[in-house]
A and B are shown apart, each in its own frame.
Chain A
Amino acid sequence: MGILAYRWAAFVWMVLLAIGAAGEFRRPAVAWLVLGATGLWTLWLSVTPGWDRPLTRWLDLGVCIGLLLISGIVMREGYTVGEHPFFATAYPVCAALTWGAARGVGPGLAAGLALSVALTLSRPINGVSPADATGAEIWGVGNGVVYYIAAGGAMGLISRALGRASRELRRAQDEVLRERERVARLSEHATMGRQIHDSVLQALAWVNKRGHELGAEASVPGPEVLRLADMAAEQERALRALIQREPEEPPKERASLRVALDADARAVGEVPVTVTALGPIWLPEHEIDEVTAAVRQALENVVRHARATRAVVFAEEGEQGLVVTVRDDGVGFVYEEDGLRSRGKFGLLQSMKGRIEDLGGRMIVRSAPGAGTEVEFLIPEHGLRADRAVDEGRL
């Protein structure tokens, strides 16, 4: 916009000089025509939204070079020399400024250089042979050359500095936004923490009170003690969940598989279930829903049939894709689909298998009597391909 203002000022100055030098025109018609064209060009640049397009920049450079060359034709022979201001000198610098502003230092300098060449050529066109040039003439041309080149370069420098500043401003704004979101999340976390701490304190107070009362009784009723233990266990789980919540920022429209699996594991009361996920594993919600549903069914199988002392849910995102296994140390069985189906025992397994196959994956069951069971879900094409590429950069 600043350049546009300068452009208009330069144009007005050019018109004034032309009026002042009207008597000196060799070809007045061409002079006024060129002035009119320059005015139209400036007007067009002022109203078009495409003023910073590459094509516009090239045209502008052409117009400015043309002005310099043509002014050699329209002026009386030898008029441009000496101390007389040349009627096109101020306007052409706009091209150097525009190039510098739009493309940086190098292109700015190049545009300035192109204008300098045109300026130098305008002298012979005006009829002044280089051999006859006086010191003052060479001095005048030199001044113009320096003026054009410096203008392009300087504008490039300024625009580079401005660009950097604006990028930094944008980065700072993003930072502030992220920080604000983080604070909001932390404060939500803190609110949850207060609620859970309160319920933990309540439970502790009750365990303390009842524990002492029970201790004073002659015989301790087992169910009552178990109820206290259950109460403590429930609070322990709640606190643990609070501590282990993902501290990281989830990518857009993704949630953590680890968090979801942790919640499922805690919901199993009958067998202790450990979740070992390598990293948070960010997945789209629908994939989390399907995978965790399959894992819940596998855990249900463990509880119902395995007679296991523990189960481990393992999840990893690697070169093969997403791998989730549910492993128990229970009695194991012979995995043979047809046999299981004929005995009507394939229902749950079939459902798990279906879910995983719908995600383009497959289910593998490894088991033998007495050796526990491992159910593996392998999903090669899970929806995290783009993010996975980023991850693999880190791996």
Chain B
Amino acid sequence: MSDEGPDRMTGDEPLTEEPIRVMVVDDHPVWRDGIRNDLESSGVAAVVAEASDGGEAIERARESMPEVILMDLQLPTVPGVEAIRAIVEESPHVKVVVLSASGEEADVLEAVKVGATGYLLKGSTAGEIVNAVRRVRDGEPVFTPSLAGMVLSEFRRVAAPDPGVPGLTPRENEVLKLVAKGYTYREIAGKLFISVKTVQNHVQNILTKLQLRKRYELMRFAIQRGLDKAPE
């Protein structure tokens, strides 16, 4: 039994592959060093940049073009959520994984809404972190059970404000609930008689819907305030 991550479904990649370009954003040097060590000793990833605050993160992301960013949310100057928003807007192909110490629900959910595709607690093992980096690079959202729970609560808490805003399909709801219960994508695939790829697609769609809702919320807010009108 491997102890790698909540989802142990990705087999070992051939080591001949180029290491994944990673940027680590954290205001504590100890954490940056530790994560760099975890990633580089695995041979899977190379840390191409580090940043200690949100503003620096936005700049460094532009310069060093990482594939994956591991990011704390409690950051000086620009808060983590704002930095993620800016980075994802500028380079939508960059995958952001939130690495949070507090697990403060509201922050993590905001981060996912503005474009983060993964969430890990800082207590995660080296194996979990490496695995998460590999999976998000491959376009797979890294949902821990707790993030799945938060997203599920969010969809329940705010009933669709408008028919145009997508809610979860029964199947997506089922998949998300199983993730929240601690099942891996592979186990879910087995339980529901679908392929692992289909499970991943469901999770990706759920994330997209969450982000759509956020955008819709902002738009509605703008319309209410009359911000959609061009300045005269």
Contact = CB atoms under 8 A, between A and B. Distances in A.
B186 to A, nearest CB: 11
Contacts of A244: 103-105
A316 B180 CA distance: 10
Interface in A227-245: 236, 240, 243-244
Interface string A190-209: 00000000000000000000
B102 interface: yes
A276 B145 contact: yes
Contacts of A278: 149, 152-153, 156, 180
A228 to B, nearest CB: 14
A276 B1 CA distance: 23
Interface stretch (A51-59, A169-177, A307-315): A307-315
A276 B157 contact: no
B146 A276 contact: yes
Nearest to B148: A276
A395 B145 CA distance: 21
B123 interface: yes
Given A243-B104, A278-B152, A374-B181, A314 B145 contact: yes
B15 interface: no
Nearest to A243: B102
A325 interface: yes
Contact of B153 (A279, A311, A325, A372): A279
B159 interface: yes
Q: Name the prevailing secondary structure of the A interface residues.
A: mixed
B182 A311 contact: yes
A122 B9 CA distance: 97
B182 A274 contact: yes
Contacts of A290: none
Contacts of B180: 276, 278, 312, 314
Interface in B148-182: 148-149, 152-153, 156-157, 159, 177, 180-182
Interface residues of A, number: 27
Nearest to B180: A276
B149 A276 contact: yes
A312 B148 CA distance: 12
B181 A314 contact: yes
Contacts of B123: 236, 272
B182 A395 contact: no
Contacts of A279: 153, 156-157
A7 interface: no
B159 A394 contact: yes
A329 interface: yes
A117 interface: no
Interface of B: 1, 3, 6, 102-105, 123, 144-146, 148-149, 152-153, 156-157, 159, 177, 180-184, 187
8 contacts: A236-B123, A279-B153, A279-B156, A279-B157, A316-B177, A325-B181, A329-B184, A372-B187
Interface of A: 236, 240, 243-244, 272, 274-279, 307, 309-312, 314, 316, 325, 327-329, 371-372, 374, 394-395
Given A272-B123, A310-B182, A314-B177, 4 more contacts: A278-B153, A279-B157, A307-B1, A312-B181
Closest 3 CB pairs of A and B: A312-B182, A276-B149, A327-B182
